[in-house]
Amino acid sequence: MQEQHPFSKFIAILARGKTKQRHLTLDEAEEAMAMLVAGKTEPEQMGAFLMLQRLMEETSEEIAGFTLGSRQAMQFPADMPGVDVDWSSYAGKKRQLPWFILSALVLARNGHKVFMHGTEGHTPGRVYTRECLGALGIPVADSYEAAASHIRTSNFAYMPLEVISQRLREMINLRPILGLRSPVHSFTRMLNPFKAPVMLNGIFHRGFMDIHAGAAVLLEQPHMCVFRGEGGEPERRPGKTCEVWSVHDGKISEERWPAILNDPRQSPDEDMNIDDLAAIWHGTQENEYAEAAVCGTLAIALRTMQLADSIEQAEAMSREMWNGRDKATVPAAA
């Protein structure tokens, strides 16, 4: 008789039926994800586990546990630089360019160290951060050491998920095979490899904000915000009010940010020309929506970093920082 696989207990917890199934505890979620990331499971188990989790929808405890389990496999450099802001980018954009990249670069230009991480290609028809950074002349880190070097020299680094964990990248790439997103799309936003005190997250579905905020509390993340961003990325939608959930020293709060523009039904960008990012930065092209998205997102970052005491002050600071940028050069250029 074949011996039962150690991972099977986690599938059983999720699939015992309507009366006996339950969510994983934080410790169980950590152990399960540590096994998945370490390659100690069978392919069938990975698919079954991810889809059962998708069906039940993950809890804050599960998101936190999955994050901790993934962190076990991370190989950090011996001499890690201090990072101020961890900025995730996992959704990709299909209606508007990723203007939030310019928000992050403005922070870097003003002396704040920003680490961005993400992935691409899991959903057809989207523009992803990596290719946009390439168009801006910004290098992509292929190792933790390279990321650390970029942060030291330019205050900004972007590292793709496969460098953090090839196994997690493989799991995200199962989306077209399984037909649905999985918890990996959620908790990778929480990885924070350089242990930045501030974390910025964007999501697509409004109902996940409390889950992410709760996970941040469990992970003892000092400062974090999560909001429903354009396309699911951490980018403010200028034509709509923005509900921001924040975590500061273990306490969760909500703040409602007003619309910046009077056009709630912003037409999609038909061209999605990534060269427009540099044109807006250099000031050779004007785009009211783009500048509102950049400054609006930057304002949320400043508020989360506790550099502004109010929404109004954060928005004034972001506009001043944007207008004061050096248009001649893009920060972090190679």
Residues 60 and 166 in one domain: no
pLDDT of residue 88: 97
Query: Quick one: pLDDT at residue 53?
Result: 93
Does 277 share its domain with 210?
Answer: yes
Using 50, 70 and 90 to split pLDDT, how confident is the model at 332? low
Is residue 201 a part of any domain in this protein? yes
- Does one domain contain both 57 and 91? no
CA distances from 196 to 82, 114, 278 (A): 7, 9, 27
Assess whether 169 and 54 both reside in one domain. no
Q: Which residue has the tokens 């899991």?
A: 122
pLDDT digits (tens, 9 = 90+) for 108-156: 999 999 999 999 877 778 999 999 999 999 999 999 999 999 999 999 9
- What's residue 334's pLDDT? 43
Question: Average pLDDT in the 158-167 region?
Answer: 95
Residue 328 lies in a domain: no
Query: Which amino acid type is present at position 136?
Result: L
Residue 37 maps to which CATH number? 1.20.970.10
Is residue 332 domain-resident?
no
- pLDDT greater than 60 at residue 333: no
CATH of the domain at 107: 3.40.1030.10
| Domain end residue (candidates: 43, 71, 99) | 71
Average pLDDT over residues 72-98: 91
> What's the total number of domains in the chain?
2
The whole domain housing 17 covers 8-71
**198-212 confidence digits (pLDDT tens):** 999 999 877 789 999
Question: What local confidence, expressed as pLDDT, does residue 205 receive?
Answer: 77
**Judgement on whether residues 180 and 235 belong to the same structural domain of the protein:** yes
If asked whether residues 50 and 171 sit together in one domain, one would say no
pLDDT above 60 for 27:
yes
Q: Are residues 156 and 15 in the same domain?
A: no
Closest CA to 256 of 238, 244, 240: 244
Residues 65 and 89 in one domain: no
* Residue 334 domain flag: no
162 and 124 housed in the same domain: yes
What per-residue confidence (pLDDT) applies to 265? 72
Count CA atoms within 13 Å of residue 264 on its CB side: 5
Average pLDDT over residues 251-255: 97
Co-location of 55 and 196 in the same domain? no
pLDDT of residue 1: 58
- The reply to whether 217 and 131 lie within a common domain is yes
The per-residue pLDDT for 123 is 74
Give how far Cα 175 sits from Cα of 92, 128, 170, 266, Å: 14, 16, 10, 28
Q: Are residues 232 and 170 in the same domain?
A: yes
Residue 286 has pLDDT above 70, yes or no: yes
Domain assignment present for 329: no
Is 135 in contact with 277 (CB distance < 8 Å)? yes
CA-based radius of gyration for the chain: 20
User: Is 2 contained in some domain?
Assistant: no
90-109 mean pLDDT: 96
